[in-house]
Structure 1
């Protein structure tokens, strides 16, 4: 993760791969908060300024349902 407020691609995939039923309430709350921050940071940064990894991460987030 290179930008403040952005989640790494691995973190996004791992969070989506683990069912909520296997996560604690604290973990779910953390993911919701950091997910909202990541989404806001991603939307604020123009696509022309994003790295290839950030573009893929944003696409994966969108395909997997974005934030909770």
Structure 2
């Protein structure tokens, strides 16, 4: 079960089990769209307001993103605040 507006972890698992070469263009576009929406939601909702399963899934996703893309961490909201000068000043 996922939190409202979030992609269920079982859907993510099913999607990753099927190779991209076996997916239609429409399916790939849909997955990209829903993954992006889920990542945005992941970054804007504090972990303290998530179900345990969603919190674990999000922590794993952030870890994977940092490994693949070399990020410094932090939520999307924190990065946006820092970009416009409203972030932490320390």
TM-score range with shorter-chain normalisation? Answer: 0.7 to 0.9
Unaligned runs of 5+ in 1: none
Q: TM-score, normalised by structure 2?
A: 0.63
Q: Highest relative contact order (Cα 8 Å, sep 6+), 1 or 2?
A: 1
Is 2:4 the counterpart of 1:3?
yes
CA contact (8 A) 1:16 1:64 kept: no
Task: Choose 1 or 2 for highest CA Rg.
Answer: 2
Q: TM-score of the superposition, structure 1-length normalised? A: 0.81
| Equivalent position of 2:72 in the other structure | none
Q: 1:11-50 counterparts in 2 under 5 A?
A: 11-50=11-50
Aligned pairs, how many? Answer: 64
RMSD: 1.6
Tell me, which stretches of 5 or more residues in structure 2 are unaligned? 66-90
CA drift at 1:3: 1.1
- The answer to whether the Cα contact below 8 Å between 2:3 and 2:50 also exists between their aligned partners in 1 is no
Q: For 1:3, what is the secondary structure of its paired residue?
A: coil
For the 8 Å contact 2:42–2:58, the answer to whether it is kept is yes
Give the SS at the match of 2:61.
helix
